[in-house]
């Protein structure tokens, strides 16, 4: 995993130096809550946002942050990766992601290698860590996403994910269905989120509304 992480970072830095053009984009959002793989991170309203730099050759890098209700109240992530296409309908993505908590305990921070393959409207992906959150051991997350258009103005997204980990408390399946649209330059997303576990911070038939703005 460390070898792949080093290779991705080195390739991204070379890309930044040699790419003829780069596209910078950003986003900001406010949600009624923030769930990560079926686990509540905010305990209520969450403000989030990030910036991305994408290069012509497929490399990208970015950062994303959100308010949370643990570890000092802030999550700050960094990522870098590469995306491309096998054909007009099949694409792929692979990268490295660091989950940081700069105002909290650094021992809670962790990193993952992720990858995915998309077939038209469906995506199959994974994320692996050799030292998951709070040094709880290795983990593997596998997911399936599917999206479809509902007329010209709405889209419907389906998600299923499953976590396997050294620590049983981290293992759970999560599910969501999201209805999305745009109006007045804003994105609106209403999601139903559930998980296979009950109690504690796991989602239990939750509804989350998120309003976002692309920058």
Q: Is 24 exposed, middle or buried (CB count within 10 Å of its CB: 0-12, 13-18, 19+)? A: exposed
The per-residue pLDDT for 207 is 98
Q: How many domains does the chain have?
A: 1
Where residue 39 sits, what CATH number does that domain have?
2.40.160.40
3-state secondary structure of 73: helix
d(CA 205, CA 200): 14
Nearest in space to 56 (alpha carbons), one of 83, 88, 79, 78: 83
Largest interatomic CA distance in the chain: 51
For position 6, what pLDDT does the model report?
59
Neighbours of 132 (CB within 10 A): 22
User: Dihedral of CA 127/91/18/23: which sign?
Assistant: negative
What residue numbers bound the domain in which 68 lies? Answer: 2-214
pTM over 0.85: yes
Q: What is the pLDDT of residue 89?
A: 94
Give average pLDDT by consecutive 10-residue segment, the chain, 215 residues.
57 54 95 97 98 96 97 97 96 98 94 97 97 94 98 97 93 97 97 93 97 97
């Amino acid at each position: 995993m460390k070898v792949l992480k080093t290779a991705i970072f080195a390739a991204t830095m070379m890309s930044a130096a040699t790419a003829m053009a780069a596209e910078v984009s950003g986003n900001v959002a406010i949600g009624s809550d923030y769930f990560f793989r079926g686990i509540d991170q905010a305990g209520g309203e969450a403000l989030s946002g990030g910036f991305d730099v994408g290069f012509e050759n497929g490399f990208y890098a970015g950062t994303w942050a959100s308010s949370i209700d643990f570890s000092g109240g802030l999550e700050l992530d960094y990522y870098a990766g590469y995306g491309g296409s096998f054909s007009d309908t099949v694409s792929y993505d692979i990268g490295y992601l660091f989950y940081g908590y700069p105002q909290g305990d650094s021992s809670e921070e962790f990193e993952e290698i992720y990858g995915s393959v998309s077939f038209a409207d469906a995506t199959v992906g994974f994320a692996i860590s050799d030292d998951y959150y709070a040094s709880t051991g290795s983990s593997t997350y596998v997911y399936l996403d599917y999206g479809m258009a509902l007329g010209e103005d709405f889209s419907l997204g389906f998600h299923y994910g499953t976590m396997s980990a050294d620590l049983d408390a981290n293992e759970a399946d999560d599910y969501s269905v999201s209805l999305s649209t745009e109006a007045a330059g804003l994105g609106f997303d209403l999601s139903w989120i559930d998980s296979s576990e009950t109690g504690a911070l796991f989602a239990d038939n939750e509804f989350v509304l998120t309003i976002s703005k692309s920058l």
